[in-house]
Amino acid sequence: MQLAREELQQAYRQMKTIREFEERLHKEIATGVIPGFTHLYAGQESVAVGVCENLTNDDYITSTHRGHGHCIAKGCDVIGMMKEVYGKADGLCKGKGGSMHVADMDVGMLGANGIVGGGPPLATGAALAAKLDKKGGVAVSFGGDGSCNQGPVFEAMNIAAILKLPSVYVYENNRYSEHTHSSYVIASESIASRVEGFGIHTVKANGFDFFEVHEVMKELITKAREGNGPCAVEFETTRFYGHFEGDPQNYRAPTELEDDRENNDCLKIFRSKVSEAGLLADEDLDNIDNEVLALIDDAVEQAQNSPAPTPDDVTTDVYVSY
């Protein structure tokens, strides 16, 4: 653990922000005020934050349908995101995209993505641009265990490998794609062992531990930045909520969620590690908790009170009109 105090605080703040964003949405969605499909990221925070704390605004990420965590970790404005999830005119995407399509080009966040496997080819393209720009930029794609079975994902990794692009393919294995267990749909021993076949340096790591994620990613991203070609990583992780909000999750073992909340909660693990090592005081962490809760309250209130888009907005940003 060689992180400075400020870096630890920042990491915790980011993870906590994602957690509270999702916990709050879980409650708000149950009231029926939020339209569409929402897939919550709670439980996986250490992955998004452990990855993105190694990136700058000049680096790129692509995301998934479960994108809120990636967006926050990459620096998207939390209030603008909340407004977008509510479908408001001043949301990050003006209410056009919603939860599944939050994006912010200014911070290198190339979009949450409703198409499973849609992101990795785009990350490959962003990595090509970064390579041509010669400023040391990298592109990281996030994908679930389910995404590793899409043909375009294979193609993207192979292209990155032959062109030696500065990209990193992150697989978040949370055991399920919708209701199906990853052990059924992935024939190889692991995602990592399959990806190695593309000639890409690949590791498998514990995604519950922010520090492990951060360290692994530091090594992989540095490698990619320095022109050694793409890397990949499979993180073991878990989601605390259903595939989408409303999923009864009756396909999970009776105590699985309880166990995960008890033993695999990345925020708890982070807190106990920094406390034991005397790196941050409980008080510091509690203060961050309070700041985050206030931020989320503010975001929800602003989102509720923001103006809705108007019918005229339907046909803006489509290049041509008929």
Partner 1 sequence: MTETTFREALTDTLHQEMARDENVIVMGEDVVGGTGNPHVEPDFVGGVFGVTAGLYTKFGVERCIDMPISEAGIVGTAAGAALAGKRPVAEIMFCDFMGLCLDQLMNQAAKFRYMFGGKATCPMVLRTTYGAGMNAASQHSQSLHPLVTMIPGLKVVIPSTPADAKGLLTTAIRDDDPVIFFEHKTLYTISGDVPDGDHTVPFGKARIVSEGEDCTLVATGRMVSFCENAAQALSEDGISCDIIDPRTTSPLDEDAILDSVEKTGRLVVVDETPPRCSFACDVAALAASEVFSSLKAPIKQVTAPHSPVPFAKELEAAYVPSPAKIKDIVEQTVNYK
Ligand X SMILES: Cc1ncc(C[n+]2csc(CCOP(=O)(O)OP(=O)(O)O)c2C)c(N)n1
The shares of helix, strand and coil residues in the chain, as percent rounded to the nearest 5, are 50, 10, 40
Q: Which of residues 74-93 bind partner 1 (CB under 8 A)?
A: 87-89, 93
Task: Report which residue type is found at 101.
Answer: H
Nearer to partner 1, 34 or 288 (CB): 34
Residue 123 CB: number of other CB atoms within 10 A?
Answer: 29
Decide if residue 145 touches ligand X (CB under 6 A): yes
Residue of the chain from 151, 189, 278, 283 that contacts partner 1 (CB under 8 A): 151
Decide if residue 207 touches Mg ion (CB under 5 A): no
Could you tell which of ligand X, Mg ion, partner 1, none binds residue 252, using a CB distance below 5 to 8 A set by kind?
Answer: partner 1
> How many whole angstroms separate alpha carbon 265 and alpha carbon 88?
32
Instruction: Please enumerate in sequence order all residues whose Cβ is within 8 A of that of 145, keeping only pairs 6 or more positions apart, or say none.
Output: 171, 172, 173, 174, 175, 176, 177, 182, 185, 186, 191
Q: Which two tokens stand for residue 157?
A: 């990794």
Residue of the chain from 13, 16, 19, 65 that contacts ligand X (CB under 6 A): 65
Q: Give the DSSP H/E element, type plus range, for residue 144.
A: strand 139-144
State residue 145 phi and psi, 5-degree precision.
Answer: -60, -35
CB of 97 to ligand X, least distance (A): 14
Decide if residue 321 touches partner 1 (CB under 8 A): yes
> How many whole angstroms separate alpha carbon 253 and alpha carbon 147?
23
Residue of the chain from 29, 73, 100, 138 that contacts partner 1 (CB under 8 A): 100
* DSSP SS3 for 45: helix
Decide if residue 237 touches Mg ion (CB under 5 A): no
CB of 22 to ligand X, least distance (A): 13
Residue of the chain from 36, 75, 114, 309 that contacts ligand X (CB under 6 A): 114
> How many whole angstroms separate alpha carbon 105 and alpha carbon 219?
25
Decide if residue 116 touches partner 1 (CB under 8 A): yes
* DSSP SS3 for 176: strand
Q: Pick the stretch among 51-59, 77-85, 175-183, 306-314 that binds ligand X (CB under 6 A).
A: 175-183
Decide if residue 145 touches Mg ion (CB under 5 A): yes
> How many whole angstroms separate alpha carbon 312 and alpha carbon 118?
29
Decide if residue 190 touches ligand X (CB under 6 A): no
- List of residues contacting partner 1 (CB under 8 A): 35-37, 87-89, 93, 95-98, 100-101, 113-117, 146-147, 149-152, 177-186, 250-254, 256, 308-311, 313-315, 318, 320-322
- List of residues contacting ligand X (CB under 6 A): 64-66, 114-116, 144-147, 174, 176-178, 243
